[in-house]
Amino acid sequence: MATETGPQRELRNDTAVNVVGLLKSETGATRSFRLELDRFVVDEETIARDIRGEVRLTRLRDGIMASVAAIGIVPSTCVRCLRDYDQPFTVSFDEEYQQTVDVRTGADLDGEAALDDLVSRIDENHELDLREPLRQEILVALPMRPDCGEDCPGPDVLEAGADDEVVDERLAALASLLGDERMKDTG
């Protein structure tokens, strides 16, 4: 099995990698890259920054497997205190890329085998782009309710069911009527 030797390559502010050399290599050959993105658009409202990580590309029979591990920061707004803060994230994923054009003959490979819609493609210029899987992984890694942490000056977060027995004293008379209904439901 052939592996890469020599200095590690760098992906600086770019997510596209030309893999023509790797596609000409035997199955199992690898290439490693250091990933550095100063700014990365996740969606129209979210821009990640300072993304650093490692990318390892492995030649498969029909394409390339990209293994990515990265960290970065997304500016967020705390839902409790409404202050801006930096939300760190960590992503790690594997993405399979299939060839669409034979690297030696230039023949179109789309007709030979049905390409799976869930598999990313290596374009006609023999480039694979990590942008979309990286974007999706960052979105999944971000919290649904951004919170700046335990020292947040905003209101405390109540745990579900923590204060079920607390009754507003103005409604105490009604609560006593419901007390009988609760007994019937649980008994």
Average pLDDT, the chain: 83
Tokens standing for 92?
A: 């790690």
- Model pTM? 0.74
Angle CA 32–34–39, to nearest 5: 140
pLDDT at 168 over 80: no
Distance in angstroms (rounded) separating the CA atoms of residues 130 and 61: 20
Per-residue pLDDT tens digits for 128-141: 999 999 999 999 99
Indicate the burial class of 101 (C-beta count within 10 angstroms; 0-12, 13-18, 19 or more): middle
pLDDT of residue 13: 86
Neighbours of 60 (CB within 10 A): 15
pLDDT of residue 2: 46
